[in-house]
Chain A
Amino acid sequence: MSGTVRFDFMHFMPYVHLPENHKDFHSTWVDFPNKFYDPKKGHALYQRYLAELVLAETVGFDAIVVNEHHNTAYSMMAAPNLIAAAIIPQTKTAKICVWGTPPNLEYPNRLAEEYAMLDVLSQGRLEVAFPLGTGMEYWANPINPSTARQRYRESIDIILQAWTQDGPTTYYGDFYTYRYLNPWPRPYQKPHPPCYIVGTGSPETVELAAKLGFGYSAVFVSKTRALELNQQLRKSSAEHGHHIRPEQLPLQVITYVAETKEKAEAEAVEHIRYFFEDALRTTPTFLAPPGYLSVAELKKRAALADKLHGGFSFENVNESFFLAIGTADQVVAQLEEWGAKMDTNHFNILGAIGNMPHWKVVKNLTLIGQDVIPRMRANAAVERRVAAE
């Protein structure tokens, strides 16, 4: 691991008060009846989750990460920019990462404006990611999944043009026509906030990140796959003349720290189970609306089906995905090992997983802030000095 170490705290802000019979429903996404959403409980959860996000900065995290999903108990962030706007005045130094709104689900000029607003509001603390959006989002929004990728590409193109060229400019695309692309305000950071692509590893999006010189974060892919993707991104980026820096490859890790390994597992596993079994429960049709995936990708995913969405075993999940559950020493060792292997120094910590109660989130963040982050920074500094000598 080279250079500094960066720690992000990512929250999904789930709605956790599911009805007792929720397992009778085939999905907690798309068609899960919204009569089960109680706004009073929702308000309390927002209060709590905002406090947890802000706490992350206090205990030493470098960044706060929010993202977008629709029609689901998995997340209460249908509009993550609103959450970002609520956090900005409560924080001073933390990067605000909106990772992010699928740019094809929003008018691109509007997204360029909103992100610029957040960047100006936060004095240049914004980072954005451009996800294509899960298949589920296309059942909730009026955007054609069969042209989603083309629209996505065009939207990113428009946003970058809006940010990097003095307006007014024009844009005549397949999906959008702008006679006066001239958004006010403009981003605080020049040329624009740091950008990432977030994806589940389809070759098209990795190639896009490489072409644009963006970072890439693979989410919900196996450890082996994540390594392949990082290597592929480095290779493709180099071919496009971009050098990928370690901090551009955030590694998403479900992390929980406690006094002993046994205690950490005892405290965390039930919430990890909830996350995979209940919060991520969906159907193959919702995951893959028509035309959203290539046929080859659909077949590949169908062959792997049920591994991620529903059907939980901690051993399997622990084996397949990045989970660091244990004492601070163990978590440091684990993260350093993965960081070295993946050639990244950027950890995106899922530290409030599933239906984890407030006290555990506070405990977890505090222990990470107290015992994991400083130690990893110190180790990285030693390594840096050694490398310099």
Chain B
Amino acid sequence: MTAHPFPPQFKRETHTINGVKTVLLTAGSGEPLVFLHGAGIWHGVNFALPWTEKFRVIIPFHPGFAESGDDPAMTDMHDYVMHYLDLFDALGLDKVHLVGFSLGGLLAANFAVQAGHRVKRLVLVGPAGLRGKERPTGDVLSLPPEQIPSMLVSNFDLIKPYLPENPKDLDFMGDRYREGGTLARLLWERPYDTKLPRYLHRLTMPTLLVWGEDDRLLPVQQAELWRQHIPKADFQVFKGAGHLVLDEKREAVDAVQRFLS
């Protein structure tokens, strides 16, 4: 690993939320922008630095991921929605810009469905969670871990610096295995949310969908499913980007910023 996933501009805060150690990164000032990460955040948050020029960016690690603690009793999306309601209360955040990526997109959508009044604007980046019957989601639970990184990007060189040089690095393997276990608790039975489409009509806040055109995990065609159910969503696709579209395309980061400004 040669790159720093979490740049020094971000400060760490540790909170205890309903008994769970919850670490978050925060930088910048302005209206709060909460970014909900995907099923792994080892590729870091360097992409988010431009946002800190205009927003108070808050990137919490989900329970069971990265530096936050585990809570095996958290077994569904509702538990995570409740966790974030508690965290927002603890931070005194009344209303936020909510940006969710991949698993975090599913979480952000669920949060906004249940607590729309806490979300000013919503951005879903390559969100997981809908059942793409024709273009199904790649199953990260069954992919051998060593095959996952290359599935995430169109340009592998971009994330290579965040990976250990030894592919059998035990600590890295162990950390990913732990996060896989967290993901399994949420999505093993069904890697999608069968109820969510029924409630997406509640996303009446300004909403933007962002996708990488070459997303191999969540095919860009799935954007149509979201657009069928969300009353009014802007949609932007970025060429030459895979699933990690924010890491790969500065234009995508800027597009989110413009939408939230």
Contacts and interface: CB of A to CB of B under 8 A. Distances in A.
Given A290-B183, A299-B170, A302-B168, A144 B141 contact: no
Nearest to A30: B142
Dominant secondary structure of chain A at its interface with chain B:
helix
B125 to A, nearest CB: 23
A145 B183 CA distance: 11
Given A298-B174, A298-B177, A302-B173, A291 B185 contact: yes
Interface in A122-154: 139, 142, 144-147
B188 A144 contact: yes
B61 to A, nearest CB: 16
A167 interface: no
A21 interface: no
Contact of A146 (B144, B173, B184): B184
A145 B168 CA distance: 23
A307 to B, nearest CB: 14
Contacts of A296: 174
B173 A298 contact: yes
A81 B173 CA distance: 38
Contact of A295 (B178, B188, B189): B178
B156 to A, nearest CB: 21
Interface stretch (A55-63, A87-95, A281-289, A325-333): A281-289
A303 interface: yes
Residue of B181, B182, B183 with most chain A CB atoms under a 10 A cut-off: B181
Given A284-B144, A299-B173, A291 B180 contact: yes
A289 B144 contact: no
Interface residues of B, number: 23
B111 to A, nearest CB: 23
B30 interface: no
Nearest to B144: A285
Given A142-B189, A144-B189, A290 B144 contact: no
Residue of A284, A295, A303 with most chain B CB atoms under a 10 A cut-off: A295
Interface in B159-214: 168, 170-171, 173-175, 177-178, 180-185, 188-189
B184 A290 contact: yes
B222 to A, nearest CB: 23
B75 interface: yes
A25 to B, nearest CB: 15
A315 B173 CA distance: 30
A291 B72 CA distance: 10
B180 A290 contact: yes
B76 to A, nearest CB: 11
Interface string B135-150: 0000001111100000
Residue of B144, B171, B174 with most chain A CB atoms under a 10 A cut-off: B174
B185 A285 contact: no
Contacts of B170: 299, 302-303
A318 to B, nearest CB: 27
Contacts of A147: 75, 185
A145 B180 CA distance: 11
Nearest to A291: B181
Contacts of B72: 146
Contacts of B180: 290-291
A116 to B, nearest CB: 30
B42 to A, nearest CB: 15
A365 B113 CA distance: 66
B181 A290 contact: yes
A145 B188 contact: yes
Contacts of A290: 141, 177, 180-181, 183-184, 188
22 contacts: A142-B189, A144-B185, A144-B188, A146-B182, A147-B185, A283-B144, A285-B142, A285-B145, A288-B177, A290-B183, A291-B180, A291-B184, A291-B188, A292-B181, A295-B174, A296-B174, A298-B174, A298-B177, A299-B173, A299-B174, A302-B173, A303-B170
Given A302-B170, A302-B174, 16 more contacts: A144-B185, A144-B189, A145-B184, A146-B72, A146-B182, A146-B185, A146-B188, A147-B185, A285-B144, A290-B181, A290-B184, A291-B181, A291-B184, A295-B177, A298-B177, A302-B168
